[in-house]
Amino acid sequence: MIVIDKTIISDDVVEKPFACEVSQCKGACCVEGDSGAPLLWEEALTLETLQEYILPHLTEDGRQAIRQFGAWQWDSEGDLVTPLINGVGACAYAITENGITRCGIEQAWSQGLWKHTAHAGFSKPVSCHLYPVRITRYDTYDAVNYHRWNICAPACTAGRNQGIRLFEFVRQALIRRYGEQWYEQLNGAAAQLASQPVE
């Protein structure tokens, strides 16, 4: 593992190949699972603030879920998450175009609907931007891990073929979460790890 400031990063994050193949998985990470997308507290508040911009871009089922559960909710483990349609299944903010599930928040953001607000940089929850990297917050540090899931098998193959490692694929998301300097330290640690002889 790699330690940078108050983060502990799994070796898998810097070693495993990964390059998302949404044409293969069809955006299943927005649909599968037993809980919504993890949220930071400030993201939950931002979602509340931006509802007028986001809601018109969602499905009627998504809008109904938000009316029922709110812009965000607490899950069974006490974590802040996005609501799910009917309480299970797809994220309330998910939309489907040409058979591929995408983020309705990101679609609205790409149209510049809140570019003149204090939330101009918010394109979607950082946990979604980071996936399949998952961050678990503890009292004194963050654990940064690779969440393996069979639906991402095509992405692993694509990463191997293209020579892209997971931390490189989610570079912008990691910088968004921890900053450019943190990422440069991670990049240096990854290079050092890669240069070590295999035992």
Say what the pLDDT of residue 199 is: 55
The count of structural domains within the chain is: 2
* Secondary structure string (H, E, C) spanning the chain: CEEECCEEECHHHHHCECCCCHHHHCCHHHCCCCCCCECCHHHHHHHHHCHHHHHHHCCHHHHHHHHHHCCCEECCCCCEECCEHHHCCCECCEEEECCEEEEHHHHHHHCCCCCCCCCCCCCCCHHHHHCCEEEEECCCCEEEEECCCHHHHHHHHHHHHHCCEHHHHCHHHHHHHHCHHHHHHHHHHHHHHHHCCCC
pLDDT in tens, 4-54: 999 999 999 999 999 998 888 888 888 887 789 999 999 999 999 999 999
Q: Say whether pLDDT at 150 is over 90.
A: no
Residue 5 domain boundaries: 1-18+132-199
Where is the domain boundary, 75, 109, 131? Answer: 131
Based on the fold, state whether residues 73 and 1 are members of the same structural domain: no
Per-residue confidence band for 192, with pLDDT thresholds at 50, 70 and 90: confident
pTM: 0.86
